[in-house]
Chain A
Amino acid sequence: MTLASVLFYFFATIAVAGGVLMVTRKNPVHAVLFLVLNFAGVAGVYLVLNAQFIAVVQIIVYAGAIMVLFLFVIMLLKLGGEESVFARQPFVKTLSIVIAALIGAQLTYVFFFAAPDKGTMVDMETGVYPGTVKAIAETLYTKYLLPFEAVGFTLVAATVGALVIGKKKLED
């Protein structure tokens, strides 16, 4: 077993354990914390695959920003009584199990039947690792320059929209 595969199994175990613990927790705050653990594990897997940029983004954006925001919302809304929400709505529970099973089946299909040999992350012809900061920056600022700039406009629209709906007092 190479070091890479040892690391892979290490991070993968963390990710899977975090995921399982997250969905089985009754307390939403605990669930969120285990989701952060799951994200950290997935970020480790990205690192093993030489996708440094995605690994860092995973930590900073998902584990850092979004989940902290989530925690704040849960704590501010005091969702203590939320513990039994899923118990009271069997429909939601069934639906989530069905969706999870479908996505699981689809991923299993991809891994074992559709593309069992596409697992490599390095472009053999050029020797470029597509997950590095350099490779991503190059693609983003050359081929995908237009969508990249357009995302700026999307964020402007989102900001304006959030302001117009969310601002407490509008001087009109």
Chain B
Amino acid sequence: MEFTLTDLTHLLPIVIVAASVLVAMTIDMFTKEADKTLGWFTALSLFAAAYVSLFFVDKTGVHLSGVVASGGATNILHFVFTFGAGVVALISMEYAKKTEMRVGEYYVLVLSSVLGMMLIAAAKDLAVIFVGLEQMSISFYALAGIRRKRDKSVEASLKYFLLGAFATGFVVYGMALIYGSSGTMALDTIRYAFPDLVSQPLFVLGLALFVIGFAFKIAAVPFHMWAPDVYQGSPTPVAGLMSTVGKAAAFAALLLIFRPVFDGAENALFPFLAIVATLSMLYGAIVAIAQDDLKRMLAYSSVAHAGYMLIGFASGEATGAAGVIYYLVAYAFMNLGAFGIIAMIESAEETNLKVQDYAGLGTRAPALAALLSLFMFALSGIPPLAGFFGKYYVFIAAVEGGATWLALVGVASSAISVYFYLRVVVVMYFGKSENRMEYSVSNVSLLGVTISAMLVILLGVLPGSIIKLIESFVR
């Protein structure tokens, strides 16, 4: 194997994050009041990695005997992971102070989960996907239970760990079957042999197990049971991290293994994907209506969004793949913004999480209310915000792929979901407030939320140029 300086520079985003994991541990060791220092260090190193990943976006290549790739779609995903996690670090600082969370381990684990996601997105080999997946998942299990004095947090952690380990079992068994039937772990080799391999029952079974394992990770029906409890029990910034960039990483793995499908080969798993997508969209949207807790509501909404993104896969068109990536970016930032505001409003004892608690926020904190309304409009898919174009691109891909009915289900589900997103807005501006709750707004959290809001608007205003950029890399 040859290892040159070029490899190192092209893999710089990964190297930066990996180094930050180690440096963050050292900072925690030697600083007494690590709260602010570590928070800013994490945010800045993640933003630096995001900047660097955009810098190398048009230099595609494979490195280290072809197990990792750089450039193109990989770097776009790296940007989403690092930038999204950077925003999470910003909204975590105030929350960590408020809830007296363990900050040292918190930021180390956030960074190390991002490292796992980046490995998944860069993978050219099944082994790298697996190691990245474990890196991300293990960090998440611990992050979910980091407020270990709260029963709900511990319960969330245990539940996520048990079901996550089960899902990992599916993924590994699927990989074993894929390897057994194709004789290789290199994704490109599998890709070229794909048309021949789909005729092998073992290969299809392996693919199916692989997809089931990742369906757990993206919380698609019927593998979504953990999501509401885990999102509700985890610290709010962690729930934001898991539901946005964590989900994006799982989708990245699906994209990697299903790339050949987008080259027009016969999609053996279409019925399976279509059913999972349909169930996720309808179930997520309908059950979310009944939720009073905002975090639970967003959990069910994330189930529905996983369904919309799966449409992009099921269609098997290259435009679908680009649409999924666009959707991932849009969804990450609108959801992160919403979680950021919830983290600000929430009290240290985890009250003020009900929709009713937000009554009267429109007059008392007009800026927060306006921002939250923006994210809710975006999530429900109202133009011209990012959410609308995300749905538009995956629906178009479904129609082009000859699955118009799937797009129609998506439209119906979006229509249902408007109800519960806009309920929050209506309560904020027209609801009668009985209790005057306390909330803490810090400039840093506000910065994180504002950055998300700007990206949501920017993605909505310039969808054409961004989707073109993504499309040029997906081929």
- A: which residues have CB within 8 A of B? 106, 109-110, 114-115, 142-147, 150-151, 153-154, 156-158, 160-165, 170, 172
B185 to chain A, nearest CB (A): 9
Q: Which residues of A contact B113 (CB under 8 A)?
A: 157
Q: B128 near A150 (CB under 8 angstroms)?
A: yes
C-alpha gap A32/B116 in the complex (Å): 34
| C-alpha spacing A172/B33, complex, angstroms | 11
| A161→B138 contact, CB < 8 A | yes
Cα–Cα distance between A142 and B2 once the two chains are bound (Å): 9
Would you call the interface of chain B mostly helix, strand, loop, or mixed?
helix
Question: For residue B25, which residues in chain A have a CB less than 8 angstroms away from its CB?
Answer: 156, 160
Q: Can you list 20 A-B contacts (CB < 8 A)?
A: A106-B202, A109-B202, A114-B181, A115-B180, A144-B67, A144-B127, A145-B1, A146-B67, A146-B68, A154-B131, A157-B112, A158-B138, A160-B109, A161-B143, A162-B142, A164-B102, A164-B146, A165-B146, A165-B148, A165-B157
CA distance A115 to B179 in the complex (A): 13
Q: Which of A147, A157, A164 contacts B127 (CB 8 A)?
A: A147
B142: nearest chain-A partner, CB-CB: A161
B-side residues, CB < 8 A to A, are 1, 18, 21, 25, 64-65, 67-68, 100, 102, 105, 108-109, 112-113, 115-116, 119, 125, 127-128, 130-132, 134-135, 138-139, 141-143, 145-146, 148, 154, 157, 180-181, 200-202, 205
Find the B residue at minimum CB distance from A164.
B105
With a cutoff of 8 Å between Cβ atoms, the chain B residues found around residue A162 in the complex are 142
B1 to chain A, nearest CB (A): 4
Q: Is the CB of B102 within 8 A of A160?
A: no
Taken together as a complex, chains A and B put the C-alpha atoms of A109 and B139 apart, in Å, by: 37
How far is it, in angstroms, between the C-alpha of A106 and the C-alpha of B176 when the chains are bound?
A: 12
Taking a contact as CB atoms under 8 Å apart, the answer to whether A157 and B138 are in contact is yes
Q: Which 7 A-B pairs have the closest CB atoms?
A: A161-B142, A164-B105, A157-B112, A142-B1, A154-B135, A143-B65, A147-B131
Q: Which of A150, A158, A165 contacts B119 (CB 8 A)?
A: A150
Instruction: Name the B residues within 8 Å of A158 (CB-CB).
Output: 138
Q: Apart from A114-B180, A153-B18, A165-B146, what are 19 other A-B pairs with CB-CB below 8 Å?
A: A106-B202, A114-B181, A114-B202, A115-B180, A143-B1, A143-B65, A146-B67, A147-B67, A147-B128, A157-B113, A160-B25, A161-B105, A161-B141, A161-B143, A163-B105, A164-B142, A164-B145, A164-B146, A165-B142
